[in-house]
Amino acid sequence: MRTPEWVHAAYDITPIQELERIEGCEDHNLDAEDWLEVSHYGCAASDAEIYVAYSKSLEERNPAVAKFLSQMQLDPAVVNQWILQIGRDKEDPQDVAEAWVEDNMDTVNSWIN
């Protein structure tokens, strides 16, 4: 059974203590059939990264939108909250987005300018 994405935002979870994250501290071969057995991680996992992607042609078709998207930076905690509201609480995604934008106009304006 797959854990729903919203579970991390729904509960106050205390992370386990991990070793310090340093570059190259993992040794994995995801192409191997027994990838789990042959992989080793001797440090903390990388922080979550959120990417905003768009077609390269958008830069020519609509430069303002491409600039806006290139300046967006999403906080994983905020995205987790959205997942909780939409996934667990069954809120309408448009309502969630509109409420967040209304409450975070400074952030949105920083993406526009």
pLDDT tens per residue across span 66-105: 999 999 999 888 998 999 999 989 999 999 999 999 999 9
H or E segment to which residue 10 belongs? helix 7-10
Tell me the CA end-to-end span of the chain in Å, nearest whole number.
Answer: 44
**What pLDDT is stored for residue 1 in this prediction?**
45
pLDDT at 12 over 70: yes
- Domains of the chain by residue range: 48-112
Ranges assigned E (strand) in 43-97: none
- What's the mean pLDDT when you consider all of the chain? 84
Whether residue 65 contacts residue 58, with contact meaning beta carbons closer than 8 Å, is answered with yes
**More confident position, 42 or 34:** 34
Residues in the chain: 113
What pTM value is reported for the model? 0.58
